[in-house]
């Protein structure tokens, strides 16, 4: 893997998958989205639990989430949003780095509206009907489209 990268918990995230960067946070596409447009927002600093973030990081993370969510909802033609944080293993957190899930929603996208939470809990596990993970190229393509909304030139510094 060439080019700049970011640490995302126990993973390395290529800069080509990042479409938004603020002073303390990044927005990036999901390797296995629950719905089209399911993206993530994370602090740049690797912090496992939400309570470990500084006040400044919390403010930046939620300002970034608000900014990104409006664009994602409009771009993916959603009519609502699910915004979620899984904070700790019992809450379903599998990546040891705070991150916010943004999912653009539409009427009827799940049989029962709250089924989204079960799908979110299972989406990054290697089971289910579609165990396929997106390639870096597929992710970079989506990130490139979203980055245009933010005039985002991402480097890992």
Tell me the catalytic residues: 99
Residue 86 and residue 44 in contact, taking contact as beta carbons nearer than 8 Å: no
| 101 CB burial (10 A radius; 0-12, 13-18, 19+) | buried
Q: Where are the alpha helices (DSSP H) in 16-112?
A: 55-75
* Rounded Cα–Cα distance for residues 140 and 105 (Å): 22
DSSP β-bridge partners for residue 6: 13
61 burial (CB, 10 Å; 0-12 / 13-18 / 19+) is buried
């Amino acid at each position: 893997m060439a080019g700049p990268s970011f640490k995302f918990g126990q993973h390395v995230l290529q800069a080509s998958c990042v479409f938004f960067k603020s002073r303390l946070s990044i927005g990036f596409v999901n390797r296995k989205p629950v719905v089209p447009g399911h993206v993530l927002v994370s602090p740049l600093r690797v912090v496992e639990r939400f309570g470990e973030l500084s006040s400044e990081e919390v403010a930046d993370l939620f300002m970034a989430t608000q900014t990104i969510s409006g664009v994602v909802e409009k771009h993916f033609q959603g009519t609502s949003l699910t915004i979620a944080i899984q904070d700790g293993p019992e809450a379903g957190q599998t990546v040891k780095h705070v991150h916010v899930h943004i999912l653009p929603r539409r009427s009827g996208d799940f049989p029962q509206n709250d089924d989204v939470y079960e799908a979110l809990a299972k989406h990054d596990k290697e089971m289910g009907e579609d165990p396929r993970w997106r390639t870096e190229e597929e992710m970079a393509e989506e990130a490139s489209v979203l980055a245009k909304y933010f005039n985002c030139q991402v480097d890992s510094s």
